[in-house]
Amino acid sequence: MNSELLVSDASHFRVDYEINPYMDTAVQPDAQAALAEHRAIVAAHLAAGRTVEYLPSAPECPDMVFTANAAVVRGGRAVLGCPPPQRKAEIPYVQEWLAGRGFEVVEAPYPFSGQGDALACGDLLLTGYGQRTDERMLPVLARELGCEVVPLRTLDSRWYDLDLAVGVIDAGTVAYCPQALDAPSVRTLRGLGIELIEVCLEEARRFALNLVSDGTTVTMAREAPRLAAALRDRGLKVVVLGTAELAKGGGGIRCTALSLDGAPARQR
């Protein structure tokens, strides 16, 4: 399965504010190490045969490396993220890029964490709410993107985005941490008829689920050996990377890549 990803860069990555429990303005990323980490992630996508598009980060946007929050994209349409005030300045850059690429771009009427809370799984859109995404976004996403929305409520701010609690491996396989979701959401997931891989709290907290999978190769954090082994047992190729610098912003591999699958044909 080919996949296309929009990434930015870590040139302006800093911890200027604290909008998730992993951020501490007293603990800044090492600039060179962060750049190297991000470059290694991009190199891993390319080595896996994924197409990578690049949007330069802006100096006034210290979290812009986490492109996943700027929108969710499906087919030729994109619903923009509506992030906390500290990250609002990122949105016009991504909006312009998506529109320039031929996407029909719509704004979110309520708080919405973009792909951070909206993970495509075949025809389903696994949609997190209760933290950065307002519940009222669920019908909006179903309507705007023409897909079936599966509502999943994460339990607390450690899981401020669904992509820390759930990782889509392929259309029939999802990894998740049961302790990160409320009981009805766990039941919902179990009722979907897809294969589920349970990830322990310890590995989930180290961003194990914040992974990119194309169904053949899984690119994931180094600190989750149990999940990595479970995926290898299923015949997947697993590539592990260090993400200690990005983790200071509260993000990992999945957060740095906005999936553009179903992108309109490129204008020549």
Footprint of ligand ARG (CB under 6 A): 19-20, 23, 63, 66, 68-69, 87, 116, 161, 163-164, 249-251, 255
Q: How far is the CB of 82 from ligand ARG (least distance, A)?
A: 12
Report residue 266 as tokens: 């490129």
- The span from the CA of 60 to the CA of 74, in Å, is 28
Q: What's the min distance (Å) between Cβ of 246 and ligand ARG?
A: 8
CB of 191 to ligand ARG, least distance (A): 25
Closest separation between CB of residue 266 and ligand ARG, Å?
26
Residue 9 or 161 having the CB closest to ligand ARG: 161
Amino acid at 139: P
- Residue 22, token pair as written in the block: 């992993």
Written as one string, the DSSP assignment of 13-53 is: ----S-SSTT--TTSPPPHHHHHHHHHHHHHHHHHTT-EEE
> What is the 3 state secondary structure string of 139-172?
HHHHHHHCCEEEEEEECCHHHCCHHHCEEEEECC
Comparing CB distances to ligand ARG, the nearer of 15 and 147 is 15
User: In the bound complex, what is the minimum distance in angstroms from residue 15's beta carbon to ligand ARG?
Assistant: 8
Region label for 8, one of left (φ > 0), alpha (ψ between -120 and 50) or beta (otherwise): beta
- In whole angstroms, the minimum distance from the beta carbon of 232 to ligand ARG comes to 25
If we measure between CA atoms, which residue out of 73, 70, 69 comes closest to residue 144? 73
Nearer to ligand ARG, 68 or 71 (CB): 68
3-state secondary structure of 85: helix
Torsion on CA atoms 203, 208, 209, 212, rounded to nearest 10: -170
The conformation of residue 267, written as its DSSP 8-state character, comes to P
Which residue has 């690119």 as its token pair? 219
Which single residue is written with the structure tokens 């592990």?
240
Q: How far is the CB of 249 from ligand ARG (least distance, A)?
A: 4
86 vs 234, beta carbon nearer ligand ARG:
86
Residue 193 region, left (φ>0) first, then alpha (ψ -120 to 50), else beta? left
Q: Which is nearer to ligand ARG, 41 or 146 (CB)?
A: 41
The nearer residue to ligand ARG, 42 or 234, going by C-beta atoms, is: 42
- Residue with smaller CB distance to ligand ARG, 164 or 238: 164
